[in-house]
Structure 1
Amino acid sequence: MAWDAIILGAGAAGMMAAIEAGRRGRKVLVIDHARAAGEKIRISGGGRCNFTNLGIAPERFLSQNPRFALSALKRFTQWDFIARINAAGIAWHEKTLGQLFCDGPATQVVAMLLRDMERAGVTLWLDCAPGAIRQDDKGFALETPRGAQRARALVVATGGKSIPKIGATGLGYQIAGQFGLPVVETRPALVPLTFAEQELAWMRPLAGVSVAARVAAGRARFDEAVLFTHRGLSGPAILQASSYWREGDPILVDLAPGQDMAGALRAAKAAQGKTALRTVLGRWLPERLARHLEEAAGISGPMAELPGATLDRIAAQVNGWRLVPVGSEGYRTAEVTLGGVDTRALDGRTMEAKGVPGLFFIGEVVDVTGWLGGYNFQWAWSSGWAAGQAL
């Protein structure tokens, strides 16, 4: 059967591209091997879908060419998607740092996109794994379990490798390779970090404790929560830093950002010598963490008995905890995939492959990765919209 466009992937980017192309009168087929559309949308944001961010800016996207995303992000903005959410009657709220979440379940966003696709005349085939692809002078031929399909254009919106339990694969990168497009090396991003047994033994008793902290990886700095787990460190600040961290490099964690802990401890010793260290630390840290720092240092006496060198050592651990992760939890828990189809091979305005007319790559499969907090969904909406205008 012949189509104007076949879109591989019924995720955020694929559905957006299909809606836009369908509204422009194109005959569109969306194919996905999953049994349900928009699975990543459904599970995102704790089931509430952090669908965009008020602070979309190019410096909050990682890529070999961070400015590549500018065209799509400027042409279909966060305000444009918010307008669609409002028009659909989906209630939402702003959390921290400009992050927008649905008041109700994320399935509302999936339902909106499915409804818009249906109204635009888009055909959706789920539980349908795409097969061999070939190109000729008429476009693309695709083998499917429902028979061979043809289209003038092929859009790859298959996502990255993150969260394989919901069906993530490297298919998009394989397709890029088939057509000679370079792929920037991929790795898990927005992912918890893991540590050697020595560090892990110190952290394990704190599993479940969350603390407002500053985490630095290279030149990147993030002031958000850090969560101690049985496997290492997680929480927004760690997930953000993970996108910038590389094997062998340290991260620096400040457990009391903005507080001169050395000065505060010495002042407490002078003014409140009978007070326990954990009590003083508890003014800035969670009680379990304050107690753990005291116990791990082998301190039992009051502040008056602690030498200045001991106080400085504790302060350094609070304000400048230096750690070298051994790795991450990998694609299993990574929210996104860093790297992907090289943006040098794509037209930033249309998302079409420069050397392969009619072939488009959108969303996470492209080497554009946003910060935590709705940025990656906005890239999906914007890149999908851009491709939809060109189909």
Structure 2
Amino acid sequence: MHMVSPDYDAIILGAGAAGMMCAMRAAQRGRRVLVVERNDAPGRKILISGGGRCNFTNIHTAPDRFLSSNPHFVKSALSRYTPRDFLALVEAHGIAWHEKTLGQLFCDGSARQIVDMLVEEVTRAGGEFAFGQEVEAVTHDGEAFTVRTQAGEVSAPALVIATGGPSIPKLGASGFAYDLARQFGLKVVEPRPALVPLTLAGDDLLFRELSGVSSEVVASAKKAKFREAALFTHRGLSGPAILQISSHWYPGESIAIDFFPDLPADWLIAAKREQPRRRFDDLLGEMLPARLAGVLAEKLELDGPLQELADKKLRAAQERLKRWPFTPNGSEGFAKAEVTVGGIATAELSSQTMEAKKRPGLYAIGEAVDVTGWLGGYNFQWAWASGHACGEAL
């Protein structure tokens, strides 16, 4: 049997955050790598992230900030490539950065700087790119993987799936990674949109009239809780608190919102004692945006001075405002989702190298894998860490 000598040591599918980090590390280690990308330019999701400034990592990165069927899976890669490591790279390229709230690091300038940095690192180390290449087929002959695109075929003993998840399809995102994983016998955890606005219907329609109103709340679903701003939209709920909780929400379930996270338990009863003539809606309006206060008062059916309202009713109102239930009828879907929950099952992969246990030579990294970070730079840190771990192993 005649074997064609493989063209490369590794072919990486996808020139996003994880793929480019992997290519950089592998090329630095002397591997011949080719990055195949269907878009005509690299890093399209990087470019739009963080409002065009790229929230490239989070200094509070820790395993508990990630969702996965196996919460321990992320520990190895995250411990070996940290936010400090990535920051050192950013600073070596003279890219100015700043910390926003909650440990989020952003470029002062543009996300384009992060993309240029990665491309420069890959090419300087001898890695190659092939842009505008749609993968038509991937085969394995027992020794090498062969990737066919409209430009022809290339082969290598190692293949890395770094094509992300289906979120934001207008940027060329698709479920390709899952199809490929299944082709090679790997299980996939059912993907669903995450970090996504939720939609409201029925009893909650009244809240959609508040489009544009925002308030700091604590949003919760099951055991997960996030304190940040919630934003009412013409379709439902958004804002950081809602995007965070959406990753923990399943269709049919409700979420709860605490509109007054800082107030003591019996604050309404106390207000009644101190200002008996105060009107209930005025009291709410002093602490919340006026339109929101009006809708909540209307929903609670409490009108008039506090002294005329029974303590029992006020206690019920306190309870409701502390855990106001919303039952979303859906989300805005993959079109608006920043990331995907689910993906290639972590049980199929080595947490050290990201290599498929049943398929030596096949690797999966980044968003394609069943690992999802919180909002705020965590998903980028997973891309850097998983890409780096894979690049070290190639």
- The counterpart of 2:194, out of the listed 189, 195, 217, is 189
Q: Could you tell me which residue of structure 2 aligns to residue 329 of structure 1? A: 332
**Matches of residues 146-157 of structure 1 in structure 2 within 5 Å?**
146-157=151-162
Q: Is the 8 A contact 1:213 1:237 kept in 2?
A: yes
CA distance in 2 between counterparts of 1:295 and 1:196 reads 18
**Matches of residues 238-277 of structure 1 in structure 2 within 5 Å?**
238-260=242-264, 263-277=266-280
Inter-CA distance 286–143: structure 2 relative to 1 (3 Å threshold): same
Q: What residue identity is the alignment partner of 1:269?
A: K
Q: Is the 8 A contact 2:33 2:127 kept in 1?
A: yes
Q: Does 1:204 pair with 2:208?
A: yes
- Other structure's SS at 1:221 match: strand
Deviation track 1:106-142 (CA, whole Å, cap 9, x = no partner) reads 1111111111112112211111111111111331111
Q: Is the 8 A contact 1:56 1:78 kept in 2?
A: yes
**Matches of residues 171-182 of structure 1 in structure 2 within 5 Å?**
171-182=176-187
CA distance in 1 between counterparts of 2:280 and 2:114 reads 49
TM-score, normalised via structure 1 length:
0.95
Identity %: 55
Q: What residue identity is the alignment partner of 1:251?
A: I
Q: Could you tell me which residue of structure 1 aligns to residue 315 of structure 2? A: 312
Q: Could you tell me which residue of structure 1 aligns to residue 220 of structure 2? A: 216
Shift of 1:274: 3.0
Q: Could you tell me which residue of structure 2 aligns to residue 38 of structure 1? A: 43
Q: What residue identity is the alignment partner of 1:114?
A: V
Q: What residue identity is the alignment partner of 1:258?
A: D
CA distance in 2 between counterparts of 1:249 and 1:14 reads 35
Q: Is the 8 A contact 1:192 1:238 kept in 2?
A: yes
Shift of 1:269: 2.4
Deviation track 1:207-254 (CA, whole Å, cap 9, x = no partner) reads 111111111111111111111111111111111111111222221110
Shift of 1:300: 5.0
CA distance in 2 between counterparts of 1:79 and 1:85 reads 10
Q: Does 1:26 pair with 2:31?
A: yes
Q: Is the 8 A contact 1:265 1:280 kept in 2?
A: no
CA distance in 1 between counterparts of 2:377 and 2:62 reads 12
- The counterpart of 1:114, out of the listed 114, 119, 126, is 119
Q: Is the 8 A contact 2:281 2:297 kept in 1?
A: yes
Q: Does 1:126 pair with 2:131?
A: yes
Shift of 1:298: 5.2
Provide the aligned length of Structure 1 versus Structure 2: 389
Runs (4 or more) in structure 1 with deviation over 6 Å come to none
TM-score, normalised via structure 2 length:
0.95
Q: Which runs of 5+ in 1 are unaligned?
A: none
Q: Is the 8 A contact 1:140 1:154 kept in 2?
A: yes
Q: Could you tell me which residue of structure 2 aligns to residue 164 of structure 1? A: 169
- CA RMSD after TM alignment: 1.6
Inter-CA distance 324–296: structure 2 relative to 1 (3 Å threshold): closer
Q: Could you tell me which residue of structure 1 aligns to residue 238 of structure 2? A: 234
